[in-house]
């Protein structure tokens, strides 16, 4: 059931919030042992909220699954890490307060790559999440649990976070809709920080309309987050069916070069032609600094991670090593025991690029290239209304298929992370399936990018492009 359909059934009296929760719990019990999307859920607490649900509200009585790096009062917030394995959140994130204000019920903690660092959810220290379309394959990451649950129909909708594609890439791999809002459109207060200048919270849903409904609830200014913009929030549903006639849609040559799986290319190009058939004008464009995006991202993001994760020291909360010889030994052992290999790799890399003698050569230079990447998009959006591309170069790979090569994983984010560097919104829409690496009918995603705060136009184009896989 989509969120929109359930809303109709709730308001007509065909079902109740409690019935929806019991049905979800049954689906989770039946299927999630194989998928592994849920780290935990509290049915009793959700039923208590459901008993008082206001069905007149936009999301009244609808359960929404939550990625495990977003704080919900009284619930675990592990970030997929042993460091926070027993941590219980003492407050609600702003997006959770807004969901509750819209009538939604936060239900379930979704698995993720540890501290959102990864593109496969294999970096979770707590469990493996599998792709519902093929359990031998990854669901993508870092919001792999959030995407897999929606695809597996064990969640109606979910929230994820996107630092370099962590909503859009798993949405593509799992065949669902994933929206990364503009930087500053949605509050980050209560999101455990990975890279503060890149992180954004957004919805993963079954349809574009559902994504618009969830974004409507969570968007808007927040005095608790100084980077959240106090800009008017448009009605994202009002122009959803206006179509694309007369719009100019850009096709960046840098996103259609070598290395794209033929099935991905075929499906994405078919989606582009379908938009052209609806009256959109397809315009070739260039984003010339794309080749530097991966290197730029993997300097800036680890640098910010190094700073943000310094607070995890075993003193105030989280894992604390036993029997340390002194305070320094406590720090070292707590972090050694608490963090997984990918998190350690990024902390070390980030500390290195921020260190004396290397700051100007790496971090400062990366910030300058980031400006050039942002200007590429600003220039492109003077010519076109939106940009179309694949989400990922290939469908979901096999579990363990990276062979421990982090560089291979980092390069798989090439089409998504530039949007985070530029702060613009992006969405992944299912655009068919393809056979790949011995598996049949694996989902493919179409990425649509729009100017900063252009979510209304982004959703309008996505609705026109929506294809059921």
Question: Residue 1 — very low, low, confident or very high, per pLDDT cuts 50/70/90?
Answer: confident
For tokens 């206006």, the residue is: 242
The predicted-structure confidence for 83-141, as pLDDT tens digits, reads as follows: 999 999 999 999 999 999 999 999 999 999 999 999 999 999 999 999 999 999 999 99
CA distance 320 to 336: 10
The predicted-structure confidence for 195-225, as pLDDT tens digits, reads as follows: 999 999 999 999 999 999 999 999 999 999 9
State mean pLDDT over 261-273. 98
The predicted-structure confidence for 430-446, as pLDDT tens digits, reads as follows: 999 999 999 999 999 99
Residue pair 174/48 in contact (Cβ under 8 Å)? The answer is no
CA distance 151 to 288: 35
DSSP reduced 3-state for 91: coil
Residues 155 and 44 in one domain: yes
Q: What token pair was written down for 376? A: 């590429």
- This prediction has a pTM of 0.97
Q: Give the count of domains, the chain.
A: 2
pLDDT, position 28 = 98
CA distance 450 to 65: 26
In Å, how far from its chain's centre is CA 29? 25
DSSP reduced 3-state for 125: coil
State mean pLDDT over 253-266. 95
Evaluate if residue 69 carries a pLDDT over 70. Answer: yes
Across the chain, mean pLDDT equals 96
The predicted-structure confidence for 319-360, as pLDDT tens digits, reads as follows: 999 999 999 999 999 999 999 999 999 999 999 999 988 999
Q: Write down which residue in 318, 337, 356 finishes a domain.
A: 356
Q: Is 81 a catalytic residue?
A: no
Evaluate if residue 469 carries a pLDDT over 80. Answer: no
CA distance 97 to 468: 32
For tokens 């469908």, the residue is: 395
Residues 370 and 348 in one domain: no
Residues 316 and 453 in one domain: no
pLDDT, position 403 = 62
pLDDT, position 406 = 80
pLDDT, position 468 = 53
Residue pair 136/399 in contact (Cβ under 8 Å)? The answer is yes
Residue pair 91/71 in contact (Cβ under 8 Å)? The answer is yes
CA distance 209 to 76: 30
213: exposed, middle or buried (Cβ count in 10 Å: 0-12, 13-18, 19+): buried
Q: Is 428 a catalytic residue?
A: no
Catalytic residue among 81, 120, 142, 143: 142
Residues 283 and 347 in one domain: no
Residues 43 and 174 in one domain: yes
Residues 312 and 210 in one domain: no
Residues 277 and 326 in one domain: no
Q: Can you say whether the dihedral through the CA atoms of 81, 84, 86, 90 is positive or negative?
A: negative
Residues 5 and 107 in one domain: yes
Residues 223 and 320 in one domain: no
Q: What size, in residues, is the chain?
A: 469
For tokens 């940009």, the residue is: 387
Per cent of the chain over pLDDT 90 is 95
Q: Is 67 a catalytic residue?
A: yes
Q: What token pair was written down for 282? A: 């397809």
Strand partners, 421: none
pLDDT, position 467 = 73
Residues 313 and 391 in one domain: no
CA distance 363 to 358: 8
pLDDT, position 120 = 97
Q: What token pair was written down for 318? A: 């989280």
pLDDT, position 412 = 87
State mean pLDDT over 64-74. 98
In Å, how far from its chain's centre is CA 12? 33
> Which residues have a Cβ under 8 Å from the Cβ of 79 and sit 6 or more positions away?
68, 69, 112, 114, 115, 116, 192
Evaluate if residue 388 carries a pLDDT over 70. Answer: yes
Q: Write down which residue in 339, 356, 373 finishes a domain.
A: 356
pLDDT, position 350 = 97
Residues 310 and 164 in one domain: no
CATH number of residue 73's parent domain: 3.90.1300.10
Catalytic residue among 143, 166, 182, 334: 166
State mean pLDDT over 179-190. 98
State mean pLDDT over 162-187. 98
| Structural domain span for residue 316 | 295-356
Residues 21 and 40 in one domain: yes
DSSP reduced 3-state for 463: helix
């Amino acid at each position: 059931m989509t969120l929109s359909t359930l809303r109709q059934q709730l308001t007509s009296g065909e079902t109740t919030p409690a019935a929806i929760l019991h049905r979800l719990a049954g689906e989770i019990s039946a299927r999630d042992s194989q998928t592994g999307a849920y780290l935990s859920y509290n049915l009793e607490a959700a039923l208590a909220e459901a008993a008082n649900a206001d069905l007149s509200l936009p999301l009244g009585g609808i359960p929404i699954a939550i990625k495990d790096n977003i704080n919900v009062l009284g619930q675990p917030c592990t970030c997929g890490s042993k460091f926070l394995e027993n941590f219980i959140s003492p407050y609600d994130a702003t997006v959770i307060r807004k969901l509750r204000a819209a009538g939604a019920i936060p239900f379930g903690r979704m698995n993720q790559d540890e501290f959102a660092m990864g593109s496969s959810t294999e970096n979770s220290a707590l469990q493996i999440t599998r792709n519902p379309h093929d359990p031998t394959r990854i669901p993508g990451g870092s919001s792999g649990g959030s995407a897999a649950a929606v695809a597996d129909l064990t969640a109606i909708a979910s929230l994820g976070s996107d630092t370099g594609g962590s909503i859009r890439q798993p949405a593509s791999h799992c065949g669902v809709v994933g929206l990364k809002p503009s930087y500053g459109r949605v509050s980050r207060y209560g999101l455990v920080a990975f890279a503060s200048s890149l992180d954004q919270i957004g919805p993963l849903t079954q349809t574009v309309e559902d994504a618009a409904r969830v974004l409507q609830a969570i968007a808007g200014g927040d005095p608790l987050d100084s980077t959240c913009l106090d800009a008017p929030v448009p009605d994202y549903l009002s122009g959803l069916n206006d179509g694309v006639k007369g719009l100019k849609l850009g096709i960046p040559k840098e996103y259609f070069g070598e290395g794209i799986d033929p099935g991905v290319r075929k499906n994405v190009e078919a989606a582009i032609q379908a938009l052209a058939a609806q009256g959109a004008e397809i315009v070739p464009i260039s984003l010339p600094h794309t080749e530097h995006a991966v290197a730029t991202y993997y300097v800036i993001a680890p640098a910010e991670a190094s700073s943000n994760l310094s607070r995890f020291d075993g003193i105030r909360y989280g894992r604390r090593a036993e029997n340390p010889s002194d305070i320094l030994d406590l720090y070292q052992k707590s972090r050694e025991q608490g963090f997984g290999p990918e998190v350690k790799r990024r902390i070390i890399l980030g500390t290195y690029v921020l260190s004396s003698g290397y700051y100007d050569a790496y971090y400062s230079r990366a910030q300058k290239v980031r400006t050039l990447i942002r200007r590429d998009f600003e220039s492109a959006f003077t010519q076109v209304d939106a940009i179309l591309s694949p989400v990922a170069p290939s469908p979901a790979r096999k579990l363990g298929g990276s062979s421990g090569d982090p560089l291979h994983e980092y390069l798989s984010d090439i089409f998504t992370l530039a949007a985070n560097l530029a702060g613009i919104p992006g969405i992944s829409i299912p655009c068919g399936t393809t056979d790949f690496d011995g598996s049949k009918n694996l989902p493919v995603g179409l990425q649509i990018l729009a100017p900063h705060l252009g979510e209304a136009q982004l959703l309008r184009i996505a609705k026109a492009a929506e294809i059921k896989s």
